[in-house]
């Protein structure tokens, strides 16, 4: 490649001159090629240890003049072919021109200008393809592909200098992190180390520090443990490795490979020597953190963030924190975790106004909303640019209200808006604006307009409920005061005070509204009007495996509640579950979704319950509700790890009893709704929508802690489960104003001496006092580590299941079958990495049985056939492989699974001579023949039948003797084709190979 001319003072220190003319010199790096000797070893070592491993190409061209001592680099190349092309261009286009100049300075100036022009022209042509700097990083990517034999489709994300510990000896080299692989290369004094690890094979990835490996990164696969250390920035490296491993795990889960996110904002000034993939990964990580922190929709993209202060009127303070700007939201998070969080949807903004700066309020910015709330930010570093970005997003924000107008920086104060346009941000009853379901039948109207609890609960005045009614009234009043001071709706200031009120229990009348707000479901619901009704209409009358499972579980959701003892509640539950299965066929329907959804329907309309279910399945409990419940297994692993850390006495006992795996799935999947009285479990659901999975983990630890002594005395799993079941059955909610609902699980664990009752609010208080040190960042870090274990464990289970499905007479041992499976799987994954056009890549469906999940097409089979089978025979190999593939592809879908593949391999390796000859013969007859070959065979058949005499020809007699198992008592008419001669030739060659090969 052409390089911008740079001075070289010592031209021959580490280089050997191979060609020269009066103006240019072509050089080869010492140690590259043959005859390097000791000097070559030293230079090769330096190139790997120093940054030159990426920067220094093995060939270069220098410009020189006769009297100058200074040389200028003008080109470099990774191969002799590349550098020779540049050299020939210089000789053909510049030599004659340069000989005209009299002044050497003019010669150098002309050469430099010409090279700069060539580079500018190349960059101009390359500009539409990307914005990376075609310099050092590009050279490193080319070197990576050449060094490790990677195709063009494998993209380098970043590379780092580090040491790989081989035994007790560190090997200094370079770590290359690509989209699908971790690669390392080292060359020290003639000793070369080259490693390639697929991310999908990583079973453990952690950052640790030991005496032997100081501050190192450990990477485990099923076969090896690798340690890397001496990074300049170990945190950045580890974070990137985590992201890439996570992407690989997602690929194993749902077949979504890594794609550059085109919707991510592009930097105004691209960073030099940083790949677009690295930039996009960083942006993706920030996006995920942003969305998780503020519970925003999955398609929201963070545009940027800046430090600022927020004036909080409830305590008259300026709170320092960060402002985040995205396409549809302005958010604020205080530096202190619980001090204040704020979410301002741009759809609610009426005016953005710059106020006058002062020493108290430097660079203030005022934002007003339709609900007449005003938020004052200050200490903004680049206020003008920020206001412009907000204005740009406001112009793109569609008005959701009829006749409404878009906000702008120049709008008047919000009070000037006509009353007809003032829409409360969130009404007291969230379901009231959704009463537009008038097109539903009369039987369905109640469930569409309000929660089932209001329809089926006996409405007794609060005064008649005594102390419980008074307590409920006090809760409602506390929340009304909170709304007055902190705001109501999506733009509410969320502080430690908000959490305190949630922990004291949300009033029945506000539960649905606050669940929608805290979960973020309200945002998606108001921005997708009519979406649920459209899904219901589309899914009506559609039958699938999901709808069958839904129908089976409808009457088992909450049979003890009156709302689900009649067709009204059952129909509402059916519509919500079916609509979600239609929206997300990847999940479809999973057991436990019915229990959670039935509770959501009690406190909200069908549409509200639907969007709450979306928030649960797709954001708050990722990967929980699928056929393999991966998310729940991941959090179960976290629960086990936390138990070891905070309850060490109990941890080992629980492992011996095998209880944690039994209890955690039912606790986590149903948010305790299936194991605890309804009126108590719903309080945990309140906290869950505000805090997330942290609350579930805390309560689970508190339950184990409360029963520690009894659990330590248990002798088996059944006894431990009884202890925990009886405890949970007696967790009561003394403040509930709803009539008590019989808990069916209690019938199974009741005894003569029931345990003491436990108040749910006392249990929550203990869980926060003892185990509230959990942070969201820590949970996500633990989730990553556990996800590697869980998914690799599931892959091992799949491998064992597939191997067990292979008949015992196949000829291969279990170990050989497992090795073949890994090779077969790797070939399929290669199509995912670099061949998205492959049939296998398009048709793979993770919901299929294990045996059908990994399949290969004819091209991939040909590659395996050539490398694994003993029948590879030079130029005939592709034809033979194609015929074998068509023979094995019995269902004619152009794909074969592992069982079909092993069947073909077994015949070639373990069949007796007769079976092998028979298989070879079948390869020369339909269906093994391609359509063109079959047509040719038909023409040849006519040739033989027309030229044959009435008596059997000698050829037919010879073939009858040669193939007795096919022809005894049969005529060979219609089978005498030129392919018979191919068959004989290949048979003879195969017989020769059989006498030498591993048969």
Selection from 743, 659, 748 nearest residue 708 by Cα: 659
Q: What is the DSSP string of 569-620?
A: HHHHHHHHHHHHHHH-TTT---TTHHHHHHHHHHHS-HHHHHHHHHHIIIII
Q: How far apart (Å, rounded) are the C-alpha atoms in residues 939 and 925?
A: 14
Which residues are within 8 A (CB) of 552 and not within 5 positions of it... i.e. 6 or more apart?
A: none
Contacts of 137 (CB under 8 A, 6+ apart): 54, 156, 273, 274, 275
pLDDT of residue 77: 83
Per-residue pLDDT, averaged over 655-681, amounts to 87
The pLDDT score that the predictor gives to residue 937 is: 60
Burial of 606 (C-beta count, 10 Å sphere; 0-12/13-18/19+): buried
Please state, in angstroms and rounded to a whole number, the distance separating the CA atoms of residues 698 and 770: 8
Please, are residues 202 and 220 in contact by the beta-carbon 8 Å criterion? Answer: yes
Region 61-73: mean pLDDT is 83
Give the mean pLDDT of 672-688.
93
Reference 669, options 639, 690, 707, 702; nearest CA is 639
DSSP assignment of 281-334, as one string? HHHHHHHHHHHHHHT--TT--EEEEEEEEEEETTTTEEEEEEEEEESSEEEEEE
The neighbouring-strand residues paired with 326 are 302
Q: Is 992 helix (H, G, I), strand (E, B) or coil?
A: helix
Q: What's the pLDDT tens digit per position in 92-131?
A: 888 877 887 878 888 888 888 888 888 877 765 544 344 4
Q: Which residue has the tokens 């203030």?
A: 364
Asked whether the beta carbons of 193 and 185 are under 8 A apart, the reply is yes
pLDDT of residue 463: 56
Rounded Cα distance between 610 and 159, Å, is 45
Joined tokens for residue 222: 């099923």
Q: Is the pLDDT of residue 156 over 60?
A: yes
In the predicted model, is pLDDT for residue 417 greater than 80?
Answer: no
Instruction: Specify the higher pLDDT residue, 495 or 408.
Output: 495
Q: Name the most confidently modeled range: 335-339, 529-533, 661-665.
A: 529-533
Please report which confidence band the pLDDT of residue 597 belongs to, taking 50, 70 and 90 as the band edges.
very high
Taking each helix axis from N to C terminus, what angle separates 630-646 and 693-706, rounded to the nearest 10 degrees? 50
Domains along the sequence of the chain with CATH:
2-35+42-125 (no CATH), 150-254 (2.30.29.30), 297-396 (2.30.29.30), 465-510 (no CATH), 528-622 (1.10.8.270), 630-788 (1.10.472.80), 806-942 (1.10.238)
Instruction: Name, in order, each residue with C-beta under 8 angstroms of 172's C-beta and a sequence gap of 6 or more.
Output: 48, 49, 161, 162, 163, 186, 188, 230
Cα separation, 725 vs 529, in Å, equals 43
Q: Which of 20-34, 76-90, 131-145, 213-227 has the lowest mean pLDDT?
A: 131-145
Q: How many CA atoms lie within 13 A of 799 on its CB side?
A: 19
Burial letters 327-366, b for 16+ CB under 10 A, else e: bbbbbbbbeeeebbbbbbbbbbbbbbbeeeeeeebebbbb
Most confident listed range (76-80, 628-632, 830-834): 628-632
**pLDDT > 90 in the chain, percent:** 33
Distance, first Cα to last Cα, the chain: 51
The sheet that has 191-198: what strands, in order across it?
Answer: 191-198, 181-188, 169-178, 156-166, 225-229, 216-220, 204-208
DSSP string across 709-770:
HHHHT--SHHHHHHHHHHHHHTEE-TT--SPP---TTHHHH--SSPPPPEEHHHHHHHHHHH
- Kindly report each contact of residues 245-250 with a partner whose C-beta sits within 8 Å and lies 24 or more positions away, as own/partner: 245/199, 245/202, 245/205, 245/784, 245/788, 246/784, 246/787, 247/179, 247/199, 248/180, 248/198, 248/199, 248/200, 248/202, 249/200, 249/787, 249/788, 249/791
244-248, 495-499, 611-615, 735-739: the lowest-pLDDT one: 735-739
The whole-number pLDDT of residue 46 equals 52
Q: What is the pLDDT of residue 438?
A: 35
Closest listed residue to residue 310, CA positions, set 387, 366, 383? 366
Least confident of 528-532, 582-586, 615-619, 971-975: 971-975
Contact 959, 972 (CB under 8 A): yes
pLDDT > 70 in the chain, percent: 77
Mean pLDDT across 48-56: 48
Dist. CA 92–CA 99, nearest whole Å: 13
pLDDT one-digit tens code per residue, 795-819: 898 899 999 888 887 888 899 999 9
Q: Which residues does residue 333 pair with via DSSP β-bridges, in sequence order?
A: 322, 341
φ/ψ region of 630 (left if φ > 0, alpha if ψ in -120 to 50, else beta) reads alpha
Mean pLDDT check: name the lowest of 149-163, 416-430, 539-553, 771-785: 416-430
Bond from prior residue into 927 cis (ω within 30 degrees of 0)? yes
Q: What is the average pLDDT score of the chain?
A: 79
Q: Nearest Cα to 755, choosing from 800, 706, 714?
A: 706
Please tell me which residue, 134 or 555, carries the higher pLDDT value: 555
Residue with tokens 């209690």: 746
Report yes or no: 168 and 216 within 8 Å, Cβ to Cβ: no
pLDDT reading at 494 higher than 80: yes
Strand-strand pairing, 191-198 and 181-188 = antiparallel
How would DSSP label each residue in 528-579?
Answer: STTHHHHHHHHHTT---HHHHHHHHHGGGSSTTSGGGSSHHHHHHHHHHHHH
**Which residues partner with 302 through β-bridges?**
326
DSSP bridge pairs for 567? none
Residues in the chain: 999
DSSP 408: B
Region of 489 (left: φ > 0; alpha: ψ -120 to 50; beta: rest) is left
Angle between helices 898-910 and 913-922 (to 10 degrees): 130
pLDDT tens, 542-570?
888 889 999 999 988 888 888 888 888 89
């Amino acid at each position: 490649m052409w390089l911008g001319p740079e001075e070289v003072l010592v031209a021959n220190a580490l280089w050997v001159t191979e060609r020269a003319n009066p103006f240019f010199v072509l050089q080869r790096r010492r140690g590259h090629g043959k005859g390097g000797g000791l000097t070559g070893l030293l230079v090769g070592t330096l190139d790997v240890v120093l940054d030159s491993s990426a920067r220094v190409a093995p060939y270069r061209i220098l410009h020189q003049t006769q009297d100058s001592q200074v040389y200028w680099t003008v080109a470099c190349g990774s191969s002799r072919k590349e550098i020779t092309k540049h050299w020939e261009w210089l000789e053909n286009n510049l030599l004659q021109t340069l000989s005209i100049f009299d002044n050497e300075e003019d010669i150098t100036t002309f050469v430099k200008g010409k090279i700069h022009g060539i580079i500018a022209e190349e960059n101009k042509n390359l500009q539409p393809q990307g914005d990376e700097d075609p310099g050092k990083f590009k050279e490193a990517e080319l070197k990576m592909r050449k060094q490790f034999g990677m195709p063009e489709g494998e993209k380098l994300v970043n590379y780092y200098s580090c040491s790989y510990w081989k035994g007790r000896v560190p090997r200094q080299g370079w770590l290359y992190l690509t989209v699908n692989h971790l690669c390392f290369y080292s060359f020290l004094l003639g000793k070369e180390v080259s490693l390639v690890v697929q991310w999908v094979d990583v079973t453990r990835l952690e950052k640790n520090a030991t005496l032997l490996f100081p501050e190192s990164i450990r990477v485990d696969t099923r076969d090896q443990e690798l340690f890397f250390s001496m990074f300049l920035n170990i945190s950045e490296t580890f974070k990137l490795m985590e992201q890439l491993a996570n992407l690989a795990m997602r690929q194993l889960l749902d077949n979504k490979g890594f794609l550059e996110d085109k919707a991510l904002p592009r930097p105004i000034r691209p960073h030099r020597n940083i790949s677009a993939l690295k930039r996009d990964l960083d942006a993706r990580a920030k996006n995920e953190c942003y969305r998780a922190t503020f519970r925003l929709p999955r398609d929201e993209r963070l545009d940027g963030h800046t430090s600022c202060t927020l004036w909080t009127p409830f305590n008259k303070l300026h709170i320092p924190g960060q402002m985040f700007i995205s396409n549809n939201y302005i958010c604020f998070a205080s530096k202190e975790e619980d001090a204040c969080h704020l979410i301002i949807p741009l759809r609610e903004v009426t005016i953005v106004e710059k106020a006058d700066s002062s020493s108290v309020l430097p660079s203030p910015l005022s934002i007003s909303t339709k609900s007449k709330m005003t938020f004052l930010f200050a200490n903004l570093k680049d206020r003008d640019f920020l206001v412009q970005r907000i204005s740009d997003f406001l112009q793109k924000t569609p008005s959701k209200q009829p006749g409404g107008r878009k906000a702008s920086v120049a709008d008047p104060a919000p009070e000037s808006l006509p009353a007809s346009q003032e829409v409360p941000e969130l009404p007291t009853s969230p379901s009231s604006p959704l009463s537009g379901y008038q097109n539903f039948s009369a039987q369905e109207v109640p469930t569409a307009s309000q929660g089932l609890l209001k329809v089926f609960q006996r409405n007794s005045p609060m005064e008649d409920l005594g102390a419980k009614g008074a307590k409920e009234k006090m809760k409602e009043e506390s929340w009304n005061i909170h709304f007055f001071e902190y705001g109501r709706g999506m733009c509410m200031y969320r502080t430690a005070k908000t959490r305190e009120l949630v922990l004291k229990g949300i009033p029945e009348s506000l539960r649905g509204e606050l669940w929608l707000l805290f979960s973020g479901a309200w945002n998606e619901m108001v921005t997708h009007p009519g979406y649920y009704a459209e899904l219901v209409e589309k899914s009506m009358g559609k039958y699938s495996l999901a709808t069958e499972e839904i129908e089976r579980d409808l009457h088992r959701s909450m049979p003890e509640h009156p709302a689900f003892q009649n067709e009204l509640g059952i129909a509402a539950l059916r519509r919500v579950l079916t609509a979600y299965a239609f929206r997300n066929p990847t999940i479809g329907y999973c057991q436990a979704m019915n229990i959670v959804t039935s509770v959501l329907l009690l406190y909200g309309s069908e549409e509200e319950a639907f969007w709450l279910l979306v928030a649960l399945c797709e954001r708050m409990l990722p990967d929980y509700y699928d056929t393999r419940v991966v998310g729940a297994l991941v959090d179960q692993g976290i629960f086990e790890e936390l138990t070891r850390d905070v309850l060490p006495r109990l941890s080992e006992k629980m492992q011996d009893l095998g209880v944690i795996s039994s209890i955690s799935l039912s606790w986590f999947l149903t948010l305790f709704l299936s194991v605890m009285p309804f009126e108590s479990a719903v309080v945990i659901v309140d906290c869950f929508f505000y805090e997330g999975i942290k609350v579930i983990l805390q309560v689970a630890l508190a339950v184990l802690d409360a029963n520690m002594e009894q659990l330590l005395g248990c002798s088996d799993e059944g006894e431990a489960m009884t202890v925990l079941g009886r405890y949970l059955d007696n967790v009561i909610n003394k403040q509930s104003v709803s009539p008590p609902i019989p808990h069916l699980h209690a019938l199974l664990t009741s005894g003569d001496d029931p345990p003491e009752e436990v108040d749910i609010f006392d249990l929550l208080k203990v869980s926060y006092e003892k185990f509230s040190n959990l942070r969201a960042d820590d949970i996500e870090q633990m989730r990553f580590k556990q996800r590697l274990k869980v998914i690799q464990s599931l892959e091992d289970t799949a491998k064992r299941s597939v191997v067990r499905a292979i008949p015992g007479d196949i000829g291969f041992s279990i170990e050989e079958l497992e090795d073949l499976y890994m090779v077969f799987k790797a070939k399929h994954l290669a199509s995912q990495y670099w061949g998205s056009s492959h049939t296998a890549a398009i048709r793979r469906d993770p919901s299929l049985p294990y045996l059908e999940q990994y399949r290969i097409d004819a091209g991939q089979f040909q590659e395996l056939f050539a490398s694994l089978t003993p029948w590879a025979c030079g130029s005939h190999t592709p034809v033979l492989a194609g015929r074998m593939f068509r023979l094995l592809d019995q269902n004619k879908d152009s794909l074969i699974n592992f069982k079909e593949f092993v069947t073909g391999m077994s015949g070639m390796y373990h069949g007796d001579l007769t079976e092998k000859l028979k298989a070879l013969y079948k390869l020369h007859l339909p269906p093994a023949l391609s359509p063109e070959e079959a047509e040719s065979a038909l023409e040849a058949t006519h040739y033989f039948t027309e030229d044959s005499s009435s008596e059997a020809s000698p050829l037919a007699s010879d073939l009858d003797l040669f193939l007795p198992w096919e022809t005894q008592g049969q005529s060979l008419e219609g089978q005498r084709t030129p392919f018979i001669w191919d068959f004989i030739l290949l048979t003879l060659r195969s017989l020769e190979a059989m006498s030498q090969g591993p048969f």
